[in-house]
């Protein structure tokens, strides 16, 4: 079946701009996660949704970062006033529920010039 | 000190060798342990998922968890060039949220 789909696969923008990154989960997966991976590092947790609500947003680095999942399926990660330090691969993962394996998409490679 | 330590490598082995990859961790509350494989410009792919201590085998892959030593391992038998990738260990608390804590990943190259 179809895996986690992330769009766009690449995004290049200028410092100060607003970006939106989209995640389409595996069908039937109720839990959705966003991670950020810098070069040579493992993914770092940003936020976790169970259904429509953010159950844990403790990993969001500051208030420029925001994520939504209005209908409990597709999620959008939004970054305002982008900075060069935001450049990274943003990964989305989904699972059938709590304590279930997380399956990742191929990520969005974000470059801030 | 990071919660999860993993040697970044690179690790280079000949085809057919047995590969041993390891992670140590500091938080004794971790209960779920995973190994992911990540090819260049791709997302992490789940290889092994285990709960608490013990061994788990799946084909050429064996995962071991030693909670007393806070040490986990992944063994790859009869390694193939297609196994060349970065291997990430990940861990999760039980009941305390669902976030995964990852190691930095070990880069593996299996040479012909």
Q: Shortest CB distance from B43 goes to which of A45, A101, A104?
A: A104
Q: Shortest CB distance from A42 goes to which of B46, B94, B105?
A: B105
Distance from CA of A75 to the nearest CA of B (A): 17
Question: B96 falls in which pLDDT band (50, 70, 90)?
Answer: low
Question: B53 falls in which pLDDT band (50, 70, 90)?
Answer: confident
pLDDT for res B105: 97
- A52-60 contacts, C-beta under 8 A, 24 or more apart: A55/B97, A55/B98, A56/B97, A56/B98, A56/B99, A58/B97, A58/B99, A59/B99
In this predicted structure, the answer to whether residue A68 has a pLDDT above a threshold of 80 is: yes
Percent of residues, chain A, with pLDDT higher than 90: 91
pLDDT for res B2: 87
- Mind giving me the DSSP string for A11-52? EEE-TT--EEEEEEPPTT--EEEEEEE-TTS--EEEEEEETT
pLDDT for res B1: 79
């Amino acid at each position: 079946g179809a895996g986690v789909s992330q769009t766009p696969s690449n995004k290049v923008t200028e410092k100060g701009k607003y970006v939106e990154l989209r995640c389409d989960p595996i069908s039937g997966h109720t839990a959705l996660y966003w991670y950020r991976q810098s070069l040579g590092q493992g993914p770092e947790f940003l936020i976790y949704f169970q259904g429509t609500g953010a159950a844990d947003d403790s990993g969001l680095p500051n208030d420029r970062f925001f994520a939504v999942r209005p209908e409990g399926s597709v999620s959008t990660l939004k970054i305002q006033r982008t900075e060069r330090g935001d450049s990274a691969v943003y990964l989305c993962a989904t699972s059938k529920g709590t304590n279930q394996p997380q399956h990742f998409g191929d990520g969005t490679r974000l470059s801030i010039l | 000190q990071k919660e999860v330590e993993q040697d970044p490598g690179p690790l280079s082995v000949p085809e057919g060798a047995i590969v041993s990859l390891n992670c140590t961790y500091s938080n004794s509350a971790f209960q779920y342990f995973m190994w992911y494989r990540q090819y260049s410009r791709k997302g992490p792919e789940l290889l092994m998922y285990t709960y608490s201590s013990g061994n788990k085998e799946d084909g050429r892959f064996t995962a071991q968890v030693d909670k007393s030593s806070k040490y986990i391992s992944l063994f790859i038998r009869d390694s193939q060039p297609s196994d060349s990738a970065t291997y990430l260990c990940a861990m999760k608390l039980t009941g305390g949220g669902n976030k995964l804590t990852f190691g930095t990943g070990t880069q593996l190259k299996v040479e012909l």
